[in-house]
Structure 1
Amino acid sequence: MTGKRPLLAGAAAVCGVLLVAPSASAEVEPGGWTSQSPSFSVQERGCGQVDNLTFKLTCSTASGDQRAERRYATYTGGTRQFEGYFKITSMGGTRISLKQTFRDAPDAGPYFMLAVERGGRLYAVHGGATVASGATVGTTVRVNTVHQVGSSHRTYINGSLKHRYDSPGGSYYDKFGAYRTSSGNGPATVAWSNIKFWRK
């Protein structure tokens, strides 16, 4: 009887390791991903306010730089996946950018911007294509972007592929929060949660 105890204890220890091991399983396009925790900086400009993962534009100004965002570290090459959930808790304005993939130097500038209109239409800022509907006040929406640098950038809403761009090579970074587009205005409050990053 005593000879069996170490075996049982060892099995319990192995089970414990399996239960607590971190998972790199991504929600979309599974297989071969490695979890990441990139650094970020907080950007507050104009009437933008950031409180952890709550992003507010407190004014209705339709000009100037009005933003409340997190800007993540630059990446170059490979395939990157972002995942996050957002819930618009108030929307007095319209045409607010929620998630962005930006090009970094030497070709710095916006590459893909996912924005929302009052009423819940999600759209690509450049080109204006509708990405999805239903992003109304109080509704939680999951966003995944999969960026294969030098090939394509794919956007999933609630697990379904909704938009695809060709992608040149270069350096990029992710941003999310609440940002007034050139044709938009606040006020707006957006709460983000469950932010994850992977690469392969």
Structure 2
Amino acid sequence: MRRLRGAGVLAAVATGLAVLTPVAEAQVGSGPWIPDSPGYKTQQKGCGQVSGLTFRLTCSSSSGEQRAERRYDTYTGGTHQFEGSFKITSMGGSRISLKQTFRDGSDAGPFFLLAVEKGGRLYAVHGGETIATGATVGTSVRVNTINQVGGTHRVYINGSLKDSVASPGGSYYDKFGSYRTASGAGPITVEWSGIEFWHK
């Protein structure tokens, strides 16, 4: 069962936001961490467009595959951390996946999808649990995922642990960008920065 864990004290009580300005970029969780440089492939389908670290869905279609993403190399076993910051620069749609952890191999398929609604709510696509709020247009948000294969998959927003769920053994890979969920539609433009990977 997925467990939501809203760690950290909110410093923006007056605004009611759970997403704050990102702190200095650095890995989270106990180390030591070894830097990684996995390869990736760019994926563009439907009205998806990728330019460097800018990912766009240019249409408002609520059907078909609309995708603009990077798909990183598969890993097996160990503990792997992703870090990146995103900023939505325009959003006419809603329910767009921004960061994904996928299973590969015989159990291939989506494992964890972090998506955003137009109002700024970040949520887990499978189950619908709220991860954080305040991811509005123009706001930078730092995302860290730590996948301890065969142990626990954790999601951190701006350095605070927000989600923890059991991670089965096997092979996985990371994706980020913009992807229309089954209940979503564009358009959206997302800029990512500070992409880092580590393992231990």
Band of TM-score, shorter chain:
0.7 to 0.9
Alpha-carbon distance, 1:30 to partner: 3.6
Q: After superposition, what is the alpha-carbon deviation per residue over 1:13-70, rounded to whole angstroms, capped at 9, x for unaligned?
A: xxxxxxxxxxxx9421142110000000000000000000000000000011000000
CA contact (8 A) 1:87 1:139 kept: yes
Aligned partners of 1:80, 1:65: CA distance in 2, in Å? 28
Look up the match of 1:166: 166
CA distance in 2 between partners of 1:48 and 1:122 (Å):
21
CA RMSD of aligned residues (A): 1.0
* Stretches (4+) displaced over 2 A: none
TM-score (norm 1): 0.87
Is 1:73 matched with 2:78?
no
Residue 194, structure 1, aligned to residue 194, structure 2: yes
The residue number in structure 2 matching 1:55 is 55
1:183 equivalent in structure 2: 183
Partner of 1:29: 29
Alignment of 1:149 with 2:149, yes or no, is: yes
For each residue in 1:163-194, what CA deviation from the matched residue of structure 2 results, as whole angstroms up to 9, or x when unmatched? 11111001000000000000000000000001
Whether the 8 Å CA contact 1:36–1:198 is kept in 2: the answer is yes
Any idea what the Cα deviations from partners look like across 1:79-134, whole Å, max 9, x if unmatched? 00000000000000000000000011211100000000001000000000000000
Task: Describe the SS at the equivalent of 1:106.
Answer: helix
Are the aligned partners of 1:26 and 1:198 in contact in 2 as well (CA < 8 Å)? no
1:141 to partner: Cα distance = 0.2
Give the equivalent residue in structure 1 for 2:44: 44
Q: Distance in 2 between matches of 1:192 and 1:147?
A: 21
| Contact 1:26 1:33 (8 Å CA) reproduced | no
Q: Tell me which amino acid in the other structure corresponds to 2:122.
A: L
Unmatched runs of 5 consecutive residues or more in structure 1: 1-24
What residue is the counterpart of 1:110 in the other structure?
Answer: 110
Secondary structure of 1:95's counterpart equals: strand
TM-score (norm 2): 0.87
Amino acid at match of 2:191: A
Count of aligned residue pairs for this structure pair:
176
Residue 150 of structure 1 deviates from its aligned partner by 0.5
Matched to 1:128, the amino acid is G
What residue is the counterpart of 2:20 in the other structure? none
Residue matched to 1:129: 129
Secondary structure in 1 matching 2:105: coil
Bigger Cα Rg? 1
SS class of match (1:118): coil
C-alpha separation in 2, matches of 1:29 and 1:168: 19
Using CA pairs under 8 Å that are at least 6 residues apart, name the structure with larger relative contact order, 1 or 2. 2
